[in-house]
Amino acid sequence: MVTAFESLSENTGYIAALIFSSYIFYHLIYQPLLATPLRRIPGPKAFAATKWRLALADYHGVRTQCINSIHQRYGTVARIGTKEVSFSSLSALRTIYGAGSGFERTDFYRMFDVYGRQNLFSFAGTKQHAERKKLLAHAYSKSVVLSPNAIAKPLIEKNVKSYLDLLEGEKDVAEGIFQSLHWFSLDSITGFLYGDQHGGTHALRGNDLDRRMLSDIIDPSRRKLSWYAVHLKKYTKWLYTRTGAMEKAITKLGLLPMQKPATYTGIRAYALQSWTGFETAATEKDSEQDLAIIDKLWRHSKSGKGIRLDGLDMASELADHLLAGIDTTSDTLMFAIWALSRPENKIYQEILIKELDTILNTDCNQDGNPLAEVADRLPYLDAVLKETLRLYAPLPASEPRSMSVDTTIDGYLIPAGTVVSMSPYTLHRNPDVFSEPLKFNPERWLGHCADLAEMKKWFWAFSSGGRMCIGLHLAMAEMTTLLAAIYRKYTTSGYEKQKGVSPGITSRFEVFYDETFPRFELRYAEPLRQTWVEKLEQPKQILEQLSLAAYLIELWRGMYGAIPKAEQENLQPKSNGPFPGFVSLACGSGILVYVLLMEGYKGSGFDARRRKTWETYPVNVQNCLEERIYIPRPFLDAIDSQDFEAKIHTGDFPADTFIVSDHTDELTVWTPLMAALASPSSPLPFFIIPCCSCSLSGARYRFPPKTGETSTKAERHVEQNPQPASGDLRSLRATKNEQRTDRGFGNSMVGSLTAKTRDIAEEVGFEVEETCLKTPGAISRALIGRKQQATNLAETSPSQTSVLADQIAQIIERECIRDGGVQAAAKIWIEQAEDLHRQQRE
Ligand code: HEM
């Protein structure tokens, strides 16, 4: 007989399943999809069912583009969350963001509180916000910003001069415009907020501490932290407020989305320090005229009139303006210069220069640069900036708002507490308003047609209504004055190093690029950065490896007609023969192997040491990465190395394998030999980027510059030390510059190594191509061996093959003389390999 207890326990599983499915049904289906009035709003069901769907897009850094695509599919009103709706119409813009609309900023903005205090940016309520704004609005008005008697105009003109001085004196430094423009905006906003004495920075004039403040902004993991701060707010706060052993444990477990100090810590600390310094020394100034914002807030607090502000309130307000005023202005300037420098936009630059040429000397200051108020009145410059802000708005993402009562927007009932938003990104890409929206075209802002009036209504880079950007006029004055001065004296053109690459700007969790550029970097760089586990200088290495992957893909497209996977859907590959596969020697972190495999190229890589990064790749990639030490077969034959414990590779690659030898040190000179040894009658194609110079034994060795004669006697006299004996920075830079010339390169250590490798490759039958490769981190020479010399192309008989093998052996013998012969060289190689293996095990 079945007892009641047994029956209950048999049914427990069913009951639990029923409760669970009821819960799922209620929360994921009934409530969000059937019960709420928002159910009538179109949009993808997955987004309507759970807020985590949009959070996922945030995590992948594609939120804004994703919402934009949803609008393209569903129209001007789209539901993007259980309680979140996005709009893209002018009527909604007026309803939500118009003056006195009653919509308030959401909780999202509380992440901009500083020192635990709210400020203009983070206040939700209109009353608190209006009171604070009243204190500041006048100082930020256009008439005050451009007044010769107030602080902004002389400060901006002084900083413009410092920028041009930098351009004159340290062209190399200034040309890194991402950085130098950040210095300009930093010096401008700090001077404006704190005055020269109490926090105005001098990054443009070389102050290293001021410059270093920007490392806060550059760290890519700040995006991950933003995601955590928005979607896992309490948890993130908990993580960052732990101390002692708990803090250590959290750090060790890698739980922090961004290592401490987290984003903006340095800038916030600087802002607080500036405030404290000011407060201690504060004396009321007699004149109202040259007051920085800090003076104004101080005077107000002392007056006892109106709203009360304590020290931290003021410090928070100032710090927030400081943070708001750096990236925004410099990113816009960077995109303006970049866009004007593109060959297809040269015409716009020429027209701008013509406009600037009309400025009279009497309209310039004593430094010879256009006055701020004159730069402000230039229609073409204004059009260039408007177009830059349209296409590359520095704050392009949605601006969330909500209301405490039910309301109606564009005919839809919006319940109280629903988050509603719009984004400059989507408004600025409406093809009905902006023809060819992805094209940079300043001309669209000129003329007086009805279209222009319409476009102005849709232009939303600075937001609108009561919560419009307070720094608008300051930012515009900085940007117009600097651009006018630069283009009055200079022209700009696409920097070779950045050819084919769009700059990117970070906004919250996203990075924005020019969308007409390939997504290659975007697809890999960010995921790699996010999961990076090595201690190396990663951003540079990642970009370099991505550039190299892009280069190889193009090379193989030409050689084999092999195209990346993503293109295969649209294109039929040319039939130059199938791709034979690649091997990446000494592949290090394996980025190249990972990217090429993901792009659909078969291949593998090996390195003497397994890297932690390998474990972050998908399993199929991990399976193609091996820990192996290369020992050339002739060395194995020459010496008894039976006891060698590590896994070795003897270079027996399958026929036609493409060898990639990127910065492989002792494998560099071996690469063409490897190619020939693997297949004497038809050596394998290769790509080499030479770097550290070693002889065939693997010992450090500097080959003599190629002077025509290759006497080993002459080689012995050559200095063994590859680095300059003594070198201050200036002489190092001079050496580097010299190396960029053909002659200088030929005389350098790496130049001599390149020449030696090339000679050997030619001896084994290659027609070697030499190319200059410009990756984001370096300029390198690369050798490509894809064609064989005519004599080698003829059908090779078995007897000829053995002749070729003999020739290779002779080359190896000859090259090993400097190490004491093949046996001695082999001994050195094996000893080094054993050392390496021992180190790995320790
Ligand atoms: C090209 C430059 C700039 C752009 C495109 C820009 C854009 C914006 C946008 C779109 C908002 C509204 C954000 C939102 O509601 O989510 C905003 C607000 C704000 N911006 Fe800017 N900004 C720029 C420069 C500056 C500068 C130089 C400052 C320096 C003080 C500044 C200070 C602020 C502040 C304090 C707010 C909050 C205003 C309020 O709520 O009343 N911005 N900005």
What is the pLDDT, as a whole number, of residue 288? 56
State the pLDDT confidence band at 627, using cuts at 50, 70 and 90.
very high
Q: Do domains 93-98+116-219+263-393+430-498 and 533-704+744-789+799-839 have the same CATH topology?
A: no
Yes or no: say if 786 and 511 are a contact pair by the CB < 8 Å rule.
no
User: What is the distance in A from the centroid of ligand 1 to the CA of 462?
Assistant: 6
The answer on pLDDT for 798 being more than 70 is: no
Which amino acid, one-letter code, is at 810? Answer: Q
103 lines ligand 1 (CB under 6 A): no
Token output for 842 = 């320790």
Q: What is the CATH superfamily name and number for domain 93-98+116-219+263-393+430-498?
A: Cytochrome P450 (1.10.630.10)
321 lines ligand 1 (CB under 6 A): yes
Q: Which residues pair with 398 in a beta bridge?
A: none
- pLDDT tens column, 407-424: 999 999 999 999 999 999
User: What is the distance in A from the centroid of ligand 1 to the CA of 322?
Assistant: 11
Q: Which of 194-208, 327-341, 453-467, 734-748 has the lowest mean pLDDT?
A: 734-748
What is the pLDDT, as a whole number, of residue 725? 39
Give the residue carrying structure tokens 């937001």. Answer: 463
478 lines ligand 1 (CB under 6 A): no
State the pLDDT confidence band at 538, using cuts at 50, 70 and 90.
low
Which atom of ligand 1 sits closest to the CA of residue 461?
5
469 is in an annotated binding site: yes
Which region, left, alpha or beta, applies to residue 411 given φ > 0 means left and ψ of -120 to 50 means alpha?
left
State the pLDDT confidence band at 778, using cuts at 50, 70 and 90.
low
- What is the 3-class SS of 673-707, one letter each residue? HHHHHHCCCCCCCEEEECCCCECCCCCECCCCCCC
How far apart are alpha carbons 302 and 452 in whole angstroms? 47
Ranked by mean pLDDT, the top range of 61-75, 153-167, 256-270, 555-569 is 153-167
Residues ≥6 apart with Cβ < 8 Å to 90: 457, 458
What is the pLDDT, as a whole number, of residue 815? 94
Give the residue from 396, 74, 57 showing the smallest Cα distance to 227.
Answer: 57
Q: What letter would DSSP give residue 725?
A: S
Calculate ∠ Cα 818-672-745, nearest 5°: 70
- pLDDT tens column, 336-376: 999 999 989 999 999 999 999 999 999 999 999 999 999 99
Token output for 489 = 């004296």
327 lines ligand 1 (CB under 6 A): no
462 lines ligand 1 (CB under 6 A): yes
Yes or no: say if 618 and 597 are a contact pair by the CB < 8 Å rule.
no
How far apart are alpha carbons 615 and 605 in whole angstroms? 14
How far apart are alpha carbons 706 and 698 in whole angstroms? 21
Q: What letter would DSSP give residue 215?
A: H
Read off the pLDDT of each residue in 73-80 and give the average, rounded to a whole number: 94
> Domain residue spans in the chain?
93-98+116-219+263-393+430-498, 533-704+744-789+799-839
State the pLDDT confidence band at 7, using cuts at 50, 70 and 90.
low
What is the pLDDT, as a whole number, of residue 710? 40
State the pLDDT confidence band at 711, using cuts at 50, 70 and 90.
very low
What is the pLDDT, as a whole number, of residue 509? 82
Percent of the chain exceeding pLDDT 70 equals: 85
What is the pLDDT, as a whole number, of residue 374? 98
550 lines ligand 1 (CB under 6 A): no
User: What is the distance in A from the centroid of ligand 1 to the CA of 468?
Assistant: 7
C-alpha dihedral (479, 481, 482, 484), degrees to nearest 10: 110
What is the pLDDT, as a whole number, of residue 646? 79
The answer on pLDDT for 496 being more than 60 is: no
Q: What letter would DSSP give residue 443?
A: G
Q: Whose CA is nearest to atom 42 of ligand 1?
A: 471
133 lines ligand 1 (CB under 6 A): yes
What is the pLDDT, as a whole number, of residue 488? 97
What is the pLDDT, as a whole number, of residue 236? 92
User: What is the distance in A from the centroid of ligand 1 to the CA of 83?
Assistant: 26
How far apart are alpha carbons 371 and 394 in whole angstroms? 26
Give the helix ranges, DSSP H, for 50-103. 51-59, 63-74, 90-97
Q: Whose CA is nearest to atom 1 of ligand 1?
A: 329
Read off the pLDDT of each residue in 665-677 and give the average, rounded to a whole number: 95
How far apart are alpha carbons 325 and 473 in whole angstroms? 12
Among 392, 469, 483, which residue has the most ligand 1 atoms within 8 Å of its CB, making it the best to mutate?
Answer: 469
Q: Which residues pair with 401 in a beta bridge?
A: 105, 420
Read off the pLDDT of each residue in 259-282 and give the average, rounded to a whole number: 85
111 lines ligand 1 (CB under 6 A): no
Q: Whose CA is nearest to atom 27 of ligand 1?
A: 325
- pLDDT tens column, 286-337: 555 568 999 999 999 988 888 889 999 999 999 999 999 999 999 999 999 9
Give the residue from 605, 608, 641, 637 showing the smallest Cα distance to 624.
Answer: 605
394 lines ligand 1 (CB under 6 A): yes
Token output for 687 = 């790509």
User: What is the distance in A from the centroid of ligand 1 to the CA of 121?
Assistant: 8
The answer on pLDDT for 802 being more than 50 is: yes
What is the pLDDT, as a whole number, of residue 384? 98
CATH code for the part of the protein at 533-704+744-789+799-839 = 3.40.50
503 lines ligand 1 (CB under 6 A): no
What is the pLDDT, as a whole number, of residue 744? 66
Q: What is the DSSP string of 531-573?
A: T--S-S-HHHHHHHHHHHHHHHHHHHHHHH----HHHHTT-PP
Using the Cα atoms of residue 232, residue 237, residue 238 and residue 243 in order, give the sign of their dihedral. positive
User: What is the distance in A from the centroid of ligand 1 to the CA of 461?
Assistant: 9
395 lines ligand 1 (CB under 6 A): yes
User: What is the distance in A from the centroid of ligand 1 to the CA of 527?
Assistant: 29
Which atom of ligand 1 sits closest to the CA of residue 478?
27
Q: Which of 52-66, 192-206, 380-394, 743-757 has the lowest mean pLDDT?
A: 743-757
How far apart are alpha carbons 633 and 594 in whole angstroms? 28
The answer on pLDDT for 2 being more than 60 is: no
User: What is the distance in A from the centroid of ligand 1 to the CA of 472?
Assistant: 7
The answer on pLDDT for 560 being more than 80 is: yes
442 lines ligand 1 (CB under 6 A): no
Q: What letter would DSSP give residue 466?
A: G
Residues ≥6 apart with Cβ < 8 Å to 558: none
Using the Cα atoms of residue 357, residue 360, residue 361 and residue 365 in order, give the sign of their dihedral. negative
User: What is the distance in A from the centroid of ligand 1 to the CA of 821?
Assistant: 71
Which atom of ligand 1 sits closest to the CA of residue 479?
1
122 lines ligand 1 (CB under 6 A): no
The answer on pLDDT for 483 being more than 90 is: yes
Mean of per-residue pLDDT scores for the chain: 86
How far apart are alpha carbons 227 and 233 in whole angstroms? 9
How far apart are alpha carbons 326 and 14 in whole angstroms? 59
What is the pLDDT, as a whole number, of residue 724? 38
386 lines ligand 1 (CB under 6 A): no
Q: What letter would DSSP give residue 718?
A: S
For residues 1 and 626, the model is more confident at 626
User: What is the distance in A from the centroid of ligand 1 to the CA of 359?
Assistant: 30
User: What is the distance in A from the centroid of ligand 1 to the CA of 133?
Assistant: 13
Token output for 5 = 């207890």
- pLDDT tens column, 718-736: 333 333 334 455 555 565 5
3-state secondary structure of 388: helix
Q: Whose CA is nearest to atom 9 of ligand 1?
A: 462
What is the pLDDT, as a whole number, of residue 84? 97
State the pLDDT confidence band at 557, using cuts at 50, 70 and 90.
confident
The answer on pLDDT for 101 being more than 70 is: yes
